[in-house]
Amino acid sequence: MTAIIHQFLCLKDNFGVLVHDPRTGATAAVDAPDSAPILSALAEKGWRLSDILITHHHADHVQGIGGLKAAFPGARVIGPLREADKIDAALDVAVGEGDRVAVGVLEIAALDVPGHTSGHVAYWLPEEALLFAGDTLFAMGCGRGFEEPAAVLFRSLMKLAGLPIETKVYCGHEYTLANARFALAVDPGNANLRLRAQEVSRRREAGEFTLPTTIALELATNPFLRADELDIQSMVGLRGAEPAAVFAELRERKNRA
**Per residue in 73-128, pLDDT tens?**
999 999 999 999 999 888 999 999 999 999 999 999 999 999 999 999 999 999 99
Q: Could you list the active site residues?
A: 56, 58, 60-61, 116, 135, 173
Would you give the DSSP letter of residue 106? E
What average pLDDT does the segment 170-199 reach? 98
Residue 16, phi-psi category: left (phi > 0), alpha (psi -120 to 50), beta (remainder)? beta
Residue 89 is predicted with a pLDDT of 83
Residue 90 is predicted with a pLDDT of 87
CB-facing half-sphere around the CA of 111: CA atoms within 13 A: 24
Residue 174 is predicted with a pLDDT of 98
In this prediction the pTM is 0.97
Predicted confidence (pLDDT) per residue in 13-67, tens digit: 999 999 999 999 999 999 999 999 999 999 999 999 999 999 999 999 999 999 9
pLDDT band at 218 (very low <50, low <70, confident <90, very high): very high
Q: Measuring CA to CA, which residue among 169, 95, 171 is closest to residue 136?
A: 171
Helix ranges, the chain (H)? 35-45, 59-62, 65-71, 150-161, 176-186, 191-205, 215-221, 230-235, 243-256
Using an 8 Å Cβ cutoff, are 64 and 17 in contact? no
Q: Measuring CA to CA, which residue among 53, 48, 50 is closest to residue 16?
A: 53
Q: How far is CA 175 from CA 9, 20, 112, 253, in A?
A: 12, 25, 23, 16
Residue 81 is predicted with a pLDDT of 98
Residue 88 is predicted with a pLDDT of 84
Single-letter amino acid code for the residue at 111 = L
Share of the chain above pLDDT 70, in %: 100
How many angstroms separate the CA atoms of 140 and 185, rounded? 12
- The set of long-range contacts for 3-8, using a CB threshold of 8 Å and a minimum separation of 24, is 3/106, 3/125, 3/128, 3/130, 5/130, 5/170, 5/212, 6/41, 6/45, 7/170, 7/209, 7/211, 7/212, 8/37, 8/41
How many angstroms separate the CA atoms of 28 and 72, rounded? 12
Cis peptide upstream of residue 114 (ω within 30 degrees of 0): no
Average pLDDT, the chain: 97
